[in-house]
Structure 1
């Protein structure tokens, strides 16, 4: 399970950095159906793209730690869940978004429990069955 956590953290980090930079560079063109949304949405999208890239860097940082800190995984997963719940709130207030955005929401809601479930996997692997670090 420790390998699964490390792989998922790396994959999430790299994907978030790539998506974030795509939004920084692409502006409105990177938002499905919003190519002509105007300067305000373009500015907002590019700003949040940079924030999302930073979020991805945090996942990459966590994946590089030995062991991966469970508390960091929980915080990052909590942020991921908050984003997914923001999408749910948007549906309740504004209606259904572009299908791609709906797919992302489903992915975010499905992955969050996996992150929480795996959060301690690497720390447990280092502790081993004895529960003491370094003794396996």
Structure 2
């Protein structure tokens, strides 16, 4: 499979996943956060707000996926935000200790996918014009 196809597939998957996860948090509030179902209204409000932001982040990935070629600069910026989130998890771990196991898994995914996106970012811009996908 070519780097172009991998990039396009991952960018689309990232976009749809982030939109779905964000909306799940907007609708679910505290119950969408592992280990926080009994947290109060402040955490619920914060979680729903960040859920909306995360859904918007997903829409930015989907916007990038609809461009031809997928803009490497957009991929790098979006991947940098993802990596910053992973670094935030490490900071939280250092300050407060280990979170719910699912948050650890998410952090690992964030640390693996971020460099992969940086590596693939130029895949479509570097492809010859004849093999670039067209906008749908």
TM-score (norm 1): 0.92
SS at match of 1:67: coil
Offset at 1:126? 3.8
Equivalent residue runs for 1:54-73 within 5 Å: 54-73=56-75
Partner of 1:12: 14
Distance 1:92 1:33 in 2: 19
Find the aligned partners of 2:129 and 2:66 in 1 and give their Cα distance: 18
CA distance in 2, matches of 1:61, 1:80: 16
Question: In the alignment, what sits opposite 1:24?
Answer: 26
1:78 maps to what in 2?
80
Q: Displacement of 1:37 after TM fit?
A: 0.2
- Give the drift of 1:127: 5.0
Q: Distance in 1 between matches of 2:110 and 2:38?
A: 27
CA-based RMSD of the aligned residues comes to: 0.9
| Equivalent in the alignment of 2:35 | 33
Contact 1:67 1:126 in 2 (8 A): no
Gaps of 5+ in 1: 129-136
Displaced runs of 4 or more, over 2 A: none
Q: Name 2:122's counterpart in structure 1.
A: 120
How big is the shift at 1:33? 1.1
Contact 1:77/1:115 (CA < 8 Å) preserved in 2? Answer: yes
Of residues 88, 91, 95 in structure 2, which corresponds to 1:89? 91
Q: What are the ranges of 5 or more consecutive residues in structure 2 without an aligned counterpart?
A: 131-136
2:109 corresponds to: 107
Give the TM-score taking structure 2 as reference length: 0.92
Q: Matched residue pairs, number?
A: 128
